[in-house]
Amino acid sequence: MSNKTWFITGTSTGLGRLMTERLLARGDNVIATLRKPGALDSLIAQYGEQLHVLLLDMTDTASLRRVVQQAFGHAMRIDVLVSNAGYGLFGASEEVSDAQIDRQIATNLTGPIQLIRAALPYLRQQGGGRIVQISSEGGQMAWPNFSLYHATKWGIEGFIESVAQEVAPFGIDFLIAEPGPTETNFASGVDMAEPMACYDNTPAGEVRRGLANGSIAINGDAAKTVEAIITATDADAPPFRLALGSKAYHSIRAALNTRLDVLEENRAVAMSVDKGE
């Protein structure tokens, strides 16, 4: 297998950092973005020109377009773009602030949309490419207290459902990775809303306590998750969606079955509103 060039956002920690390390170790080239300099200095020292680092704030659309231009100018061809940067906002929808909402949407939804839009002309010109969007089980199901996070994950998955159909004729395809709770630094980076006492004895309060006391199981292995994403991305025909972890599989399956049950229960109503013959 010939070496590939990858463009990966959010590489300072977590899945993005692990993916960068794995790809460099196998001989691929990586263009890695992060918000603050220095986090990848040890990898630069080890791998030299295999790794090219660019500073990127996903909430700055103008800067994002410049960085994408620089990346394609540096590499000439990018085989895989991995949209990984993001974080979680935790709190009941009434508890989160306007500023927190704006930041969550700008980072997790608007940023990835603009990243993909900026890359599409270059991918078309080079004759195709693959885009990997790191979503989560939260792109197909929902927990209390993560309403804004879910809004962004459901939103980016809907965007990709559509754009994938638009650009398939140009040889551009997509993989949406949906990890469940995974042992990374995600929890430490979660933005917490100021709790309201009225939610203490509600499902939101239960989830808050579960996150605080560790009773919500985090059983995903980060290294295995990254290896599974890389393996799927290397395939000639990757899955469009890839659930990662037993919890993700079971949670997504249950959510989809519930939605199908509701749809079937209302089949007669759905059919009844068509125009008459």
DSSP class of residue 230 equals H
Catalytic residue among 153, 199, 247, 251: 153
Catalytic residue among 135, 136, 147, 251: 135
d(CA 112, CA 229): 18
Beta strand pairing call for 89-90 and 129-134: unpaired
d(CA 20, CA 32): 7
CA dihedral 11, 2, 47, 188 (to 10 degrees): 20
Catalytic residue among 47, 122, 136, 149: 149
Contact status, residue 78 vs residue 131, Cβ threshold 8 Å:
no
Closest by CA position to 22, among listed 88, 80, 108, 85: 80
- 149 given a catalytic annotation: yes
- 135 given a catalytic annotation: yes
* Close Cβ partners of 24 (under 8 Å, ≥ 6 residues apart): 30, 43, 46, 47, 50, 51
**Within 10 A of 194 (CB to CB), how many other CB atoms are there?**
9
Strands (E), 9-113: 29-34, 51-55, 80-83, 89-90
Q: C-alpha 32: how far from its chain's center?
A: 16
Contact status, residue 194 vs residue 95, Cβ threshold 8 Å:
yes
- 36 given a catalytic annotation: no
What residues act catalytically?
A: 135, 149, 153
